[in-house]
Chains A and B, each alone.
Chain A
Amino acid sequence: MNDALHLHYFVDGDDFTRAGEASANVKKTLRQIGVSPDAIRRVAIVLYEGEINMVIHANGGVIDVDIAPDQITMVLKDTGKGIADIELAMKEGYSTAPEEVRSLGFGAGMGLSNMKKYSDEMKIESTVNVGTTVTMKVNLS
């Protein structure tokens, strides 16, 4: 495996159906460099949930992924409306997603809890009306 690999993605906030492209691309890259299927699945899930959140709540954003031999670090940054109460947002089932998003099968209030569940470390920094940065790490060893 390479010593370090950096990937950068722009998440389009207007196109719901394209959300998941960064996740799919990272998944493909990890497969090519021989990362374990379990770690790939976890990275793909947390990134997809993050992308969906950016599209639903923040009109898009940017994702940076650093792949080191022992750990994958993902930083998802947006300049959206922010999260007023992070503890509440983390609760399974709590959702502020609009109805049209729910009709597509999203907005179950599971996104952030899935991200926490499948990452080894997760940190959320958010300021209302300024934006949110979510940092997640998945260990490879």
Chain B
Amino acid sequence: MTPIQLAEALDLKIISRGDGDERTADGVFCCDLLSIVMGKAKAGAVWITVMCNINTIAVAVLADVSCVIISEGYAVDEDMVKKAEEQGVCLLQSSLPTFELGLAIHNLLQL
């Protein structure tokens, strides 16, 4: 399943489409500490975080995750959106808490 299909299935807001039609979402990683994400997230994972700044996008690119989902309805600022668009990162947003979102994706992807 692509990140965009996942967004449509779970009614997530698509903030930046990026390469979300081309990637395959094949895991879930939940964390707000960027170094832990870089050290431990697997390429292709869906990364769920409340950390909304442009460094989040830089880390998403480095860790090569398939998309970033901002959970808990946290607001995404313009700089972050701009950076996501520039870097071709699929950026999504949800009002769900991180755990509930992660569980819903886990079930949807039948992991």
CB contacts (< 8 Å) of B49 on chain A: these are 105
Interface magnitude class on chain B: 20 to 34
Check if B55 sits within 8 Å of A108, measured CB to CB.
Answer: no
Say whether A24 contacts B43, CB under 8 Å.
no
CB pair B58 A117 closer than 8 Å: no
Q: Is the CB of B62 within 8 A of A48?
A: yes
Q: Which of B51-96 contact A (CB under 8 A)?
A: 51, 53-56, 58-59, 61-64, 79
| Chain B residues within 8 Å of A111, by CB | 35
Say whether A105 contacts B32, CB under 8 Å. Answer: yes
Chain B residue at minimum C-beta to C-beta distance from A113:
B39
Q: Which residue of A lies closest to B79 (CB)?
A: A17
Besides A16-B55, A45-B63, 17 new A-B residue pairs in contact (Cβ under 8 A), listed by A number: A19-B58, A23-B62, A24-B58, A37-B64, A41-B43, A41-B62, A45-B38, A45-B62, A48-B38, A49-B38, A104-B51, A105-B33, A105-B55, A106-B33, A110-B33, A110-B36, A110-B39
Give me the interface of B with A, judged by CB distance under 8 Å: 32-36, 38-39, 43, 49, 51, 53-56, 58-59, 61-64, 79
